[in-house]
């Protein structure tokens, strides 16, 4: 089976004349159609808002597209807050969901008026000390523990995750926060990652809605919003059936009508914090075959490496690969597709059946639009690549230039050696 790239060979031949490989390429048209479908799926909830998970793709040009549709930002660090502020996303358009949070991060979140989502009950005292008060609107992250199952399938193991409060801590936290002056409350949970099933969000919603009814009844707080967080995945493999966001939205609506409305909580806003779903399929890593090696196996060496996309090296994650211009040729050659790092796990594919690859062929590595560039690093002194936007009209826009050696050495600028390196 194969995946269709969102860029053609003719387009790529032109793009690579302007931007040397490797680079991440993003599909503006796909991003826009996707966010339109998301908004339609949750249009039944007047207060609905998507808070894009900045960690997935922290590029202001891409986030600005989502901003046009009313999306906010889900931030988890000081610099993500800075980025959101710089593009004009402030106040309750920012959800600050972090863990092991430094004092300065809470202070900036408060300064920007962000909604703060507390990860632990001990953070109440820490937050109050850091900013001098408790915000009137605040949220808490819930972790029910155990295994999260849909039917008989285990989706994930919340009990083994470092995030969120236990049920007992959650109730105590709401009572403490109310006593300290909080007036509006949110409830948040993330129980499974990259789920490729339309059942996940409705199941999660049921857990959170039932808990919200109990919380409001037993603590007397007003639940303003319920944040379903992320977890809606994408089909990395070509044989996987993609999620249908409209079916997911309808499933959440049914649970909302069954649980919240009868409890007199029909005013609760629904929030989401999607990253992978929003951007993943609409980005790809474009790289060129520069070496081939035939030893105990057949290897194709490309000019990208795990610095550009570390998911395969880190998780053994599957990313589909298309050899541009050879989409319809027989996939009768078995290759390991490798990068140049001094690590044997620097491989984009292992024993992958592909068409015969020649030196100079361009490879498109699919589904890198989220947690692709953003997870990059500088091992072996490798430099981060450029990011390019393929616009709706077929033109391109550079939205991040490639890193330079001077930038790699920039933190030596206060030393004598730095003067030599930064010449």
Cβ-proximal residues to 273 (8 Å cutoff; 6+ apart), any chain: 50, 51, 52, 53, 74, 95, 97, 190, 227, 228, 229, 230
Residue 97, judged by CB atoms within 10 A of its CB (0-12, 13-18, 19+), counts as buried
Using CA atoms, how far apart are residues 38 and 249, in angstroms rounded to an integer?
A: 8
DSSP count for the chain of H helices, then E strands = 13, 19
Using CA atoms, how far apart are residues 113 and 86, in angstroms rounded to an integer?
A: 14
Give the three-state DSSP class for 223.
strand
Contact 139, 188 (CB under 8 A): yes
Residues taking part in catalysis: 342
Beta bridge partners of 302: 289
CA 220 vs. chain centroid, Å, equals 34
Using CA atoms, how far apart are residues 31 and 50, in angstroms rounded to an integer?
A: 14
Contact 295, 70 (CB under 8 A): no
Using CA atoms, how far apart are residues 251 and 248, in angstroms rounded to an integer?
A: 5
Q: Which helix (H) or strand (E) holds 279?
A: helix 276-279
Contact 299, 292 (CB under 8 A): yes
């Amino acid at each position: 089976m194969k995946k269709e790239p969102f860029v053609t060979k003719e387009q790529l031949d032109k793009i690579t004349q302007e931007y040397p490989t490797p680079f991440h390429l993003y599909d503006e048209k796909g991003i826009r159609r996707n966010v339109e479908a998301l908004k339609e799926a949750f249009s039944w909830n007047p207060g609905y808002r998507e808070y894009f998970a900045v960690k997935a793709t922290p590029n202001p040009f891409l986030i600005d597209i989502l901003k046009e549709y009313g999306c906010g930002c889900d931030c988890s660090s000081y610099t993500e807050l800075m980025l959101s502020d710089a593009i004009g996303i402030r106040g309750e358009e920012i959800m600050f969901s972090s863990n092991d949070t430094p004092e300065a991060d809470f202070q900036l979140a408060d300064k920007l008026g962000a909604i703060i989502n507390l990860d632990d009950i001990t953070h109440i005292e820490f937050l109050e000390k850091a900013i001098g008060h408790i915000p009137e609107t605040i949220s808490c992250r819930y972790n029910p523990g155990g295994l999260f199952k849909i039917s008989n399938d285990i989706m994930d193991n919340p009990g083994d995750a470092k995030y969120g409060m236990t049920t007992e801590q959650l109730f105590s936290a709401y009572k403490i926060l109310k006593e300290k002056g909080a007036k509006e409350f949110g409830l948040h949970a993330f129980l499974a990652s990259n789920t490729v099933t339309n059942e996940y969000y409705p199941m999660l919603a049921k857990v959170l809605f039932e808990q919200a009814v109990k919380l409001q009844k037993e603590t007397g707080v007003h639940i303003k919003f319920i944040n379903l967080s992320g977890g809606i995945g994408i089909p990395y493999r070509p044989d996987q059936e993609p999620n249908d966001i409209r079916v997911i939205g309808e499933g959440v609506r049914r649970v909302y009508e069954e649980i919240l409305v009868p409890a007199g909580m029909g005013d609760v806003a629904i929030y989401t914090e999607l990253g992978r779903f929003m951007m993943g399929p609409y980005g790809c890593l474009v790289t060129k075959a520069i070496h081939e090696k035939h030893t105990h196996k057949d290897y194709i060496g490309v000019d990208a490496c795990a610095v550009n996309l570390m998911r395969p090296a880190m998780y053994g994650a599957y990313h589909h690969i298309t050899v541009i211009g050879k989409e319809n040729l027989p996939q009768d050659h078995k290759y390991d597709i490798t990068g140049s790092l001094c690590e044997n796990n620097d491989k984009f594919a292992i024993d992958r059946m592909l068409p015969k690859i020649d030196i100079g062929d361009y490879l498109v590595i699919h589904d890198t639009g989220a947690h692709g560039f953003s997870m990059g690093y500088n091992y072996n002194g490798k430099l981060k690549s450029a990011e390019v936007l393929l616009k709706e009209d077929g033109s391109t826009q550079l939205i991040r230039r490639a890193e330079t050696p001077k930038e790699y050495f920039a933190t030596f600028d206060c030393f004598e050696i730095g003067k030599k390196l930064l010449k």
